Amino acid sequence: MSTSLRARPDAGEFPAFYAKYVALVPDGDIVTVHRAMAEELRTALAAIPEEKGGFRYAEDKWTVRTLIGHMIDAERIFAYRALRLARGDATPLPGFEENDFAKTAGSDSRTVADLVSEMVAVRDCTMRLFASLPDEAWTRRGTVNNGDISVRAIAYVSAGHAAHHLQILRELYLA
Protein backbone atom coordinates (compact mmCIF):
# COMPACT_ATOMS: atom_id res chain seq x y z
CA MET A 1 0.00 0.00 0.00
CA SER A 2 1.46 3.35 -1.03
CA THR A 3 1.35 5.78 1.86
CA SER A 4 1.94 8.69 -0.56
CA LEU A 5 -1.50 7.99 -2.03
CA ARG A 6 -2.93 8.32 1.47
CA ALA A 7 -1.14 11.62 2.17
CA ARG A 8 -2.72 15.08 2.39
CA PRO A 9 -4.79 15.91 -0.70
CA ASP A 10 -4.02 18.89 -2.89
CA ALA A 11 -6.39 21.84 -2.65
CA GLY A 12 -7.76 20.96 -6.09
CA GLU A 13 -9.05 17.61 -4.80
CA PHE A 14 -11.93 19.05 -2.78
CA PRO A 15 -14.32 22.02 -2.70
CA ALA A 16 -12.97 25.03 -0.81
CA PHE A 17 -15.58 24.77 1.96
CA TYR A 18 -13.89 21.56 3.17
CA ALA A 19 -10.49 23.26 3.56
CA LYS A 20 -11.10 24.00 7.27
CA TYR A 21 -11.57 20.29 7.97
CA VAL A 22 -8.60 19.15 5.90
CA ALA A 23 -6.40 21.73 7.66
CA LEU A 24 -7.19 20.20 11.07
CA VAL A 25 -5.71 16.83 10.09
CA PRO A 26 -2.03 16.20 10.85
CA ASP A 27 0.25 15.25 7.99
CA GLY A 28 0.83 11.58 7.41
CA ASP A 29 -0.90 8.46 6.28
CA ILE A 30 -4.63 9.09 6.69
CA VAL A 31 -5.36 5.52 7.76
CA THR A 32 -2.87 5.94 10.61
CA VAL A 33 -4.46 9.30 11.45
CA HIS A 34 -7.93 7.68 11.54
CA ARG A 35 -6.64 4.98 13.88
CA ALA A 36 -5.17 7.55 16.27
CA MET A 37 -8.30 9.66 16.11
CA ALA A 38 -10.47 6.65 16.90
CA GLU A 39 -8.73 6.35 20.25
CA GLU A 40 -8.95 10.10 20.85
CA LEU A 41 -12.69 10.05 20.08
CA ARG A 42 -13.26 7.07 22.35
CA THR A 43 -11.41 8.68 25.25
CA ALA A 44 -12.82 12.19 24.87
CA LEU A 45 -16.44 11.19 24.28
CA ALA A 46 -16.47 8.50 26.98
CA ALA A 47 -15.42 11.15 29.52
CA ILE A 48 -18.60 13.17 28.96
CA PRO A 49 -20.81 12.84 32.03
CA GLU A 50 -24.39 11.76 31.35
CA GLU A 51 -25.73 14.88 33.06
CA LYS A 52 -24.01 17.03 30.40
CA GLY A 53 -25.92 15.28 27.59
CA GLY A 54 -28.70 17.87 27.45
CA PHE A 55 -26.41 20.89 27.76
CA ARG A 56 -26.30 23.47 24.99
CA TYR A 57 -23.99 26.49 25.20
CA ALA A 58 -26.55 28.81 23.60
CA GLU A 59 -30.30 28.65 23.13
CA ASP A 60 -30.20 27.92 19.41
CA LYS A 61 -27.32 25.40 19.55
CA TRP A 62 -27.45 21.61 19.61
CA THR A 63 -27.19 19.65 22.83
CA VAL A 64 -24.15 17.49 23.52
CA ARG A 65 -26.19 14.42 22.55
CA THR A 66 -27.36 16.04 19.30
CA LEU A 67 -23.78 17.02 18.46
CA ILE A 68 -22.58 13.44 18.94
CA GLY A 69 -25.53 12.23 16.84
CA HIS A 70 -24.48 14.66 14.10
CA MET A 71 -20.94 13.32 14.23
CA ILE A 72 -22.31 9.79 13.76
CA ASP A 73 -24.48 10.80 10.81
CA ALA A 74 -21.69 12.74 9.11
CA GLU A 75 -19.21 9.89 9.62
CA ARG A 76 -21.61 7.48 7.92
CA ILE A 77 -22.23 9.88 5.05
CA PHE A 78 -18.52 10.52 4.47
CA ALA A 79 -17.82 6.77 4.47
CA TYR A 80 -20.68 6.13 2.04
CA ARG A 81 -19.40 8.82 -0.29
CA ALA A 82 -15.88 7.41 -0.14
CA LEU A 83 -17.16 3.90 -0.82
CA ARG A 84 -19.16 5.01 -3.86
CA LEU A 85 -16.23 6.92 -5.36
CA ALA A 86 -13.68 4.24 -4.45
CA ARG A 87 -15.73 1.66 -6.30
CA GLY A 88 -15.76 3.84 -9.42
CA ASP A 89 -19.38 4.97 -9.19
CA ALA A 90 -19.73 8.14 -11.27
CA THR A 91 -23.24 8.98 -10.03
CA PRO A 92 -23.28 12.53 -8.59
CA LEU A 93 -24.01 12.33 -4.86
CA PRO A 94 -26.20 14.86 -3.05
CA GLY A 95 -25.35 16.91 0.00
CA PHE A 96 -27.30 16.63 3.23
CA GLU A 97 -28.91 19.19 5.50
CA GLU A 98 -27.32 18.61 8.88
CA ASN A 99 -29.97 20.52 10.82
CA ASP A 100 -32.79 18.46 9.29
CA PHE A 101 -30.91 15.28 10.14
CA ALA A 102 -30.35 16.51 13.70
CA LYS A 103 -34.05 17.32 14.17
CA THR A 104 -35.17 13.83 13.18
CA ALA A 105 -32.33 11.69 14.59
CA GLY A 106 -33.76 11.37 18.09
CA SER A 107 -30.35 11.78 19.70
CA ASP A 108 -31.75 13.58 22.74
CA SER A 109 -33.84 10.54 23.64
CA ARG A 110 -30.67 8.43 23.94
CA THR A 111 -27.95 8.28 26.55
CA VAL A 112 -24.54 9.80 26.00
CA ALA A 113 -23.02 6.36 26.60
CA ASP A 114 -25.16 4.80 23.86
CA LEU A 115 -24.25 7.55 21.38
CA VAL A 116 -20.56 7.26 22.24
CA SER A 117 -20.69 3.49 21.73
CA GLU A 118 -22.25 3.99 18.30
CA MET A 119 -19.75 6.71 17.35
CA VAL A 120 -16.85 4.43 18.23
CA ALA A 121 -18.37 1.58 16.21
CA VAL A 122 -19.03 3.79 13.19
CA ARG A 123 -15.49 5.22 13.33
CA ASP A 124 -14.13 1.67 13.47
CA CYS A 125 -16.09 0.80 10.32
CA THR A 126 -14.86 3.95 8.57
CA MET A 127 -11.29 3.12 9.52
CA ARG A 128 -11.68 -0.42 8.19
CA LEU A 129 -13.10 0.90 4.91
CA PHE A 130 -10.16 3.24 4.38
CA ALA A 131 -7.64 0.57 5.42
CA SER A 132 -9.10 -1.84 2.86
CA LEU A 133 -8.91 0.44 -0.18
CA PRO A 134 -6.53 -0.54 -2.96
CA ASP A 135 -4.00 2.05 -4.14
CA GLU A 136 -5.95 3.00 -7.25
CA ALA A 137 -9.05 3.91 -5.23
CA TRP A 138 -7.44 6.82 -3.36
CA THR A 139 -7.25 9.13 -6.37
CA ARG A 140 -10.67 8.32 -7.79
CA ARG A 141 -12.88 11.36 -7.95
CA GLY A 142 -16.53 12.17 -8.22
CA THR A 143 -19.17 14.80 -7.66
CA VAL A 144 -20.48 15.25 -4.14
CA ASN A 145 -22.81 18.10 -3.21
CA ASN A 146 -22.09 19.70 -6.62
CA GLY A 147 -18.33 19.69 -6.05
CA ASP A 148 -15.47 17.55 -7.34
CA ILE A 149 -13.71 15.52 -4.64
CA SER A 150 -11.29 12.59 -4.36
CA VAL A 151 -11.55 9.58 -2.08
CA ARG A 152 -8.36 10.73 -0.36
CA ALA A 153 -9.92 14.13 0.32
CA ILE A 154 -13.05 12.53 1.77
CA ALA A 155 -10.86 10.57 4.18
CA TYR A 156 -9.26 13.83 5.30
CA VAL A 157 -12.61 15.63 5.52
CA SER A 158 -13.98 12.81 7.66
CA ALA A 159 -11.04 13.02 10.08
CA GLY A 160 -11.12 16.83 10.10
CA HIS A 161 -14.86 16.97 10.71
CA ALA A 162 -14.48 14.77 13.80
CA ALA A 163 -11.53 16.88 15.01
CA HIS A 164 -13.57 20.06 14.47
CA HIS A 165 -16.46 18.80 16.59
CA LEU A 166 -14.17 17.46 19.31
CA GLN A 167 -12.66 20.93 19.52
CA ILE A 168 -16.12 22.51 19.79
CA LEU A 169 -17.12 20.03 22.48
CA ARG A 170 -14.02 20.79 24.51
CA GLU A 171 -14.17 24.58 24.12
CA LEU A 172 -17.89 25.35 24.24
CA TYR A 173 -19.69 22.42 25.83
CA LEU A 174 -17.33 20.93 28.36
CA ALA A 175 -15.19 23.90 29.37
* pLDDT of 1 over the 60 cut: no
pTM of the model: 0.95
Residue 143 pLDDT class (50, 70, 90 cuts): very high
Triad 135, 141, 142: Cα angle to 5° = 145
- Residue 68 sits in a domain whose CATH number is 1.20.120.450
Give the residue numbers spanning the domain of 42: 3-7+16-173
pLDDT at 4: 78
Q: 110: which DSSP letter? A: S
* pLDDT of 3 over the 80 cut: no
Residue 175 pLDDT class (50, 70, 90 cuts): confident
pLDDT, tens only, 12-30: 999 999 999 999 999 989 9
Contact present, 64 and 112 (Cβ < 8 Å): yes
Q: 8: which DSSP letter? A: P
pLDDT at 82: 98
Q: Please, what is the average pLDDT of the chain?
A: 95
Count the Cβ atoms, other than its own, within 10 Å of residue 70. 19
The total of structural domains in the chain comes to 1
Give mean pLDDT, residues 71-86. 98
Triad 24, 149, 127: Cα angle to 5° = 55
Contact present, 61 and 77 (Cβ < 8 Å): no
SS (H, E, C) 9-45: CCHHHCCHHHHHHHHCCCCCCHHHHHHHHHHHHHHHH
pLDDT at 14: 98
Which residue type, as a one-letter code, is found at position 52? K
Give mean pLDDT, residues 105-129. 97
* pLDDT of 2 over the 80 cut: no
Q: 141: which DSSP letter? A: E
* pLDDT of 5 over the 90 cut: no
* pLDDT of 167 over the 60 cut: yes
